[in-house]
Structure 1
Amino acid sequence: MAVAGAIIGAAVGGWMNDRYGRRSAILIADFLFFIGAVIMASAPNPAALIIGRVFVGLGVGMASMTAPLYISEASPAKIRGALVSTNGFLITGGQFLSYLINLAFTKAPGTWRWMLGVAGIPALLQFIFMLLLPESPRWLYRKGREEEAKAIPTENLPCPRGINTVMYYSPTIVQLAGFASNQTALLLSLVTAGLNACGSIVSIYFIDRTGRKKLLIISLLGVIISLGLLSAVFHETTSHSPMVSLVETSHFSNTTCPDYSATAKTERWDCMKCLKASSPDCGFCASPSNKLFPGACLVSNDDVKKSCHKEGREWYTRGCPSKYGWLALIGLALYIIFFSPGMGTVPWIVNSEIYPLRFRGVCGGIAATANWISNLIVAQSFLSLTQAIGTSWTFLIFGVISVIALIFVLVYVPETKGLPIEEVEKMLELRAFHYKFWEARPKPSEKGSAA
C-alpha cells in the first residue's frame, strides 16, 4: 500500500512541482509522511494501519522526484551530481538506521508501533528546516519572478534532509539462502543496508569525476555478474538440499507433514520438496548433529517450531540448510556494492537534468511514477516468483532485465557531467534519433556548405 501511494504521490507531485514550486511540494510531502507515521503508530486496527501506509506512500512518492529536482536546480554544475548523490546517501543511510531501530525495538513493548511511529521524526525535522530554505531559483525564473531568483545565492544552498526489492526482502533472501533465525537474518540485512549506504558515498565522490554514463555501465556490469552468481548459488542450494528422513520425522509424533505421510516414495523427498507442500504448509526440522544431514518434514506451526527448537535443532520454512549460504550473502553484498553507486543514484540525477525547464516537474513526475509502478510490480511478484519458478530462476530473470538495461544505457543515455542544466537542454535539442543511436544534427551553416 505504501508503494501504491508512492505511485499516486509521484504523479501528483510532478504537477504540483510545476504549479506551486519545489519547496512547497517537499513541505507537503513531509506533512503527509508525518501524518502517516502518526496514524500507523496509533492504529487501532489493520484498516487504520493501511490508511497510514497510503499517507506515507504519498509523501515518499512526492519527495522521491522533488528532492533531486530541487537540489539539482539549486546547485552549481561542478558539484551538482555530488549533491544529488548526497540525497541518495541520506536515503540509504536512513534505511540502515531503520534496520538498527527495528533491531532495537524487537524486544520492546508495542514493538511495531515504535518502529513505524519513529519515522515521523525525520519528516518533522525536514519540514522545519525546509521553511528556512528558499524556492528553486529556476522555478522562480520560469514563473516570471526574476528578481527573487537572482537574489538567491545558489552557490551556498544546502541540500535537503532505491534495489528496493532487495532492501525490502533482504531478510527473506537471507533465509532463502539457508539462515533460519529471524534475528540472524535481520542482522545480516543490517550489513547489506550498511553496504548500500557506503555505495552512495562512492557515488558522491565519483559522479562529477567519472561521469553519469560510466558509473551506470560499471554498475550494471557488476549487477549482472552478481545476479548470475546469486542464480547459480540458489540453483545449487535447491538442488542439493538435505533429505527428509522417515526416522527423524517419526520422532515427532502426530506432527508429520500430511503430504509426506500420503506419499509412497518418501525416499525422494528432500527439504525443498517439504517446504513446497501446501496442505497445510510444512517446515523442515534439521538434524541436531549436522543441519546438512537428513531431517524431519513436519506441519508448520508455532508449537511444532518450539518442539524442534527444544531439541537444539534449526527450523526452516523459507529456505533449506546449505553449505553455499555464505556464497549467497557474498552475491547479495556484491549486488548492493555495484548497484548503489550507479543505478541507485544516477537515474535520479539524470532525470533531474535532462528535461526542459517548462516540463521538468511533469516529466520528473512521470519518471518517478514509472519507477514506483515498476517497484510495485517487482515487490508484489518477487515472493510469488520464488515459489512458482524458484529463487534461482527469479534472479536469472532480473539478470536478463539488467542486460537489457545495460544496452539501453549504452545506446540512449547522454553524458551530462559538468554541464549547466541550460546547456544540457541545448545539447539535447541538437540531437536527433537515427537507427537507435544519438547523432548530432548538422548546423544550418553546415547544411549550406554541403549544398
Structure 2
Amino acid sequence: MTIESMPGSSGYIEIGNRKITYFSNGYVLGLTVVAGIGGLLFGYDTGVISGALLYIRDEFEEVNQSHFLQETIVSMALVGAMIGAAIGGWVNDSYGRKKATLSADVVFALGSVVMAAAQNPYVLIFGRFLVGLGVGVASVTAPVYIAEASPTEIRGGLVSTNVLMITGGQFLSYLVNLAFTEVPGTWRWMLGVSAVPAILQFFLMLFLPESPRWLYLKKDKSKAIVVLSKIYDPYRLEEEINQLATTLEEERQRKSVVRYSDVFKVKEIRLAFFAGAGLQAFQQFTGINTVMYYSPTIVQMAGFRSNQLAILLSLIVAAVNAAGTVLGIYLIDHFGRRKLALSSLSGVIISLIILAVAFILEPSTSSVIGLYGWMAVVGLALYISFFAPGMGPVPWTVNSEIYPEAYRGMCGGMSATVNWISNLIVAQSFLSLADAVGTGWTFLILAVIAVAAFVFVIVFVPETKGLTFEEVERVWKERAWGGGYGREAFLEAGNEQ
C-alpha cells in the first residue's frame, strides 16, 4: 500500500490513483448531510426565536413589559439544551449515535407542537425547554457521528458541514420569519414548522447505520466492517480495522469502568477537556448567539424600528454566516484548526470594537437612522464574516476529535454542556446588561473576552489537522507527561508538507 502526499495540499491525499476529497465518497457525504439535520434543528431554533420574539411581544403584553420574560423565552431552550447535552454523552456511549439521534428528533418535534399551540407564555416556555432537550442531544451526537464515519484527511471539513447546517438553519429561520410576517398566527407558524426537519431526519436515520467505530468497539465487529467497507477502499480498510483493533485491545487492558471523575483525574484527558470546553465557552462568550438570538432587536436598537426591516437586515447577517461557514469547510483542513481560530478571533475583536463605537456614539434619542446606525449593521455583518469560518466550526470539530474513544461521548457531552451553559448566561443577561451599562459597553466587554479567547487558543489548543484519533491521543499524553512538544512539532511539520 502506497500513500503519497499531494504537493501543496493538506486537504486531501492520494492513495494509489485515488484522491480522498470532500466529494469523493457519496456514501460518507450522505451520512454527513442526514446527521447534519441535527445541526439544522440547532440553527433553526437559535435563529427563529429572534424574529418570533417580536410578535410574541405583540401578542402577550406581559412579555412586552418584561425583559426577564423575553430572556426566559429565549434561554429556556438553552436550559433544555444544557440538560440534553449532559445526558447526550451517556446516551451516545451506552446506546449508540443512531438511537441518540432518533430520541432527539422525537423530543424536538413534540416541543415544536407544544410551542405552536401555546396559549400563554408559560406553556411556550415549556415547549422551548423540550426543543432544547432535543437540540442538546443532537449537538453532542451529530459531530461525533460524522467524525467517526470520516476519513482522517477530510474529517474537519465533514464535521464542519454540521456547522454549515447550523448556520443554514439560522438563515432558513429568518426566511421563514420573513415569510410569515403577514400571516395570522405569525409566531406560531415560525416555531411550529421546525417539527418538519426533525420528522424528516427521524425517518432518514432509520435507514442509516450506526457509527462504525462505536459498532466495532462496543457491539458488533462484523457490522462495523460492513459499514467501513462502504467508506474506505480495500487497501485503506485493512489499515482502519487494524487501528480499531489496537484501540479495542488498549481499552481491554485498562479493565476499568469509564467514570466522569477520570476526566479530571487523568492528566491527558483533563488537558484535552480543558482545551475543548474552553473553546466551547469562548465561542459563546464572544457573543455569537447574542447576535443570532437578538439580531433583529439589535438592529432596532440601532434605529431601524420596523419589524419587517429588522428581520430583513438580520436575514442578510444570517446569509453572511452561512457563506462564511462554507469557507470554513474548505479552510479547516487546509489552514488548520488553530490558525483558523486565531485568524477568526482577530477579526471578531475588531468587529466588536466597531459595534461598541457605533452604539456608544449613536444618540439614544435619535429618531432618524444615521451614520452610526448603519455602522452598527456593518459591524454585525463583519462580526459574522470573521466568526463563521473559524470560531463557528473549530470548537465543534476539535471536540469531535481530541478525546480517546472511551471518553469521546462523555467528554463531548460535557464540553457541549459547557457551550450551552455559556450560551444560557449570554442569552439571559444580554438585554439586562445592555440596559444597565449600555449596548456599546456590552459589546466592548465581549471584545475584551475575545482577546482572552485569542490568548487561550495560543496557549492551550494544539493543531490536530490531519492527525488520526490515535495520533491526537498521543499528542495529549506527550503534553501531559513531557517530552512531547518536540514530537508535536514534528507532527505539525509533517502536516505542513
Q: Tell me, which stretches of 5 or more residues in structure 1 are unaligned?
A: 242-270, 272-283, 292-320, 443-451
1:397 to 420, 430, 445: 445
TM-superposed deviation, 1:433: 7.2
- Aligned position for 1:170: 295
**How many angstroms apart in 1 are the aligned matches of 2:421 and 2:412?**
14
Query: Structure 2 matches for 1:2-401, cutoff 5 A?
Result: 2-153=77-228, 156=231, 163-238=288-363, 241=364, 271=365, 286=367, 291=368, 321-401=369-449
Describe the SS at the equivalent of 2:463: coil
Q: Is the 8 A contact 2:181 2:308 kept in 1?
A: no
Letter in 2 for 1:345: P
- Aligned position for 1:411: 459
RMSD: 1.9
**How many angstroms apart in 2 are the aligned matches of 1:233 and 1:103?**
26
**CA deviation profile, 1:275-298 (whole Å, cap 9, x unmatched):** xxxxxxxxx7x4xxxx3xxxxxxx
**CA deviation profile, 1:9-55 (whole Å, cap 9, x unmatched):** 00010111111111111111111111111111222333332221111
TM-superposed deviation, 1:322: 3.2
**How many angstroms apart in 2 are the aligned matches of 1:112 and 1:390?**
29
TM-superposed deviation, 1:170: 0.6
Describe the SS at the equivalent of 2:480: strand
Q: Is the 8 A contact 1:76 1:154 kept in 2?
A: no
Describe the SS at the equivalent of 1:431: helix
TM-superposed deviation, 1:188: 0.3
**How many angstroms apart in 2 are the aligned matches of 1:109 and 1:375?**
31
Q: Is the 8 A contact 1:411 1:438 kept in 2?
A: no
Letter in 2 for 1:223: V
TM-superposed deviation, 1:427: 2.2
- Aligned position for 1:313: none
**CA deviation profile, 1:228-270 (whole Å, cap 9, x unmatched):** 11111211114xx5xxxxxxxxxxxxxxxxxxxxxxxxxxxxx
Distance 1:424 1:215, change over 3 A: same
TM-superposed deviation, 1:165: 1.5
Q: Tell me, which stretches of 5 or more residues in structure 2 are unaligned?
A: 1-75, 233-283, 489-497
Larger helix fraction of residues? 2
**How many angstroms apart in 1 are the aligned matches of 2:130 and 2:196?**
15
Q: Is the 8 A contact 2:212 2:228 kept in 1?
A: no
**How many angstroms apart in 1 are the aligned matches of 2:478 and 2:230?**
29
Distance 1:420 1:438, change over 3 A: closer
**How many angstroms apart in 1 are the aligned matches of 2:230 and 2:424?**
38
Letter in 2 for 1:347: P
Q: Runs of 4 or more off by more than 6 Å in structure 1?
A: none
Describe the SS at the equivalent of 2:485: strand
**How many angstroms apart in 2 are the aligned matches of 1:217 and 1:155?**
36
Q: Is the 8 A contact 1:432 1:441 kept in 2?
A: no
Describe the SS at the equivalent of 1:341: coil
TM-score relative to the length of structure 2: 0.70
Q: How many residues are aligned here?
A: 359
TM-score relative to the length of structure 1: 0.76
TM-superposed deviation, 1:150: 1.4
**CA deviation profile, 1:151-177 (whole Å, cap 9, x unmatched):** 2136649xxxx7112100111111111
**How many angstroms apart in 2 are the aligned matches of 1:424 and 1:103?**
45
**How many angstroms apart in 1 are the aligned matches of 2:138 and 2:186?**
27
**How many angstroms apart in 2 are the aligned matches of 1:99 and 1:154?**
40
Identity %: 62
Distance 1:426 1:21, change over 3 A: same
TM-superposed deviation, 1:59: 0.4
**How many angstroms apart in 1 are the aligned matches of 2:485 and 2:203?**
47
Distance 1:119 1:431, change over 3 A: same
1:439 to 485, 490, 493: 485
Describe the SS at the equivalent of 2:333: coil
Higher gyration radius (CA): 1
**How many angstroms apart in 1 are the aligned matches of 2:230 and 2:163?**
20
Describe the SS at the equivalent of 1:432: helix
**How many angstroms apart in 2 are the aligned matches of 1:20 and 1:424?**
25
**How many angstroms apart in 2 are the aligned matches of 1:379 and 1:433?**
39
**How many angstroms apart in 2 are the aligned matches of 1:109 and 1:57?**
26
**How many angstroms apart in 1 are the aligned matches of 2:450 and 2:371?**
28
Q: Is the 8 A contact 1:431 1:440 kept in 2?
A: no
**How many angstroms apart in 2 are the aligned matches of 1:422 and 1:145?**
21
Describe the SS at the equivalent of 2:315: helix
Which stretch has the larger CA shift, 133-142 or 54-63?
Answer: 133-142
**How many angstroms apart in 1 are the aligned matches of 2:344 and 2:189?**
36
**How many angstroms apart in 2 are the aligned matches of 1:149 and 1:427?**
27
**CA deviation profile, 1:189-231 (whole Å, cap 9, x unmatched):** 0000101100110011111111101110000000001011111
TM-superposed deviation, 1:438: 7.6
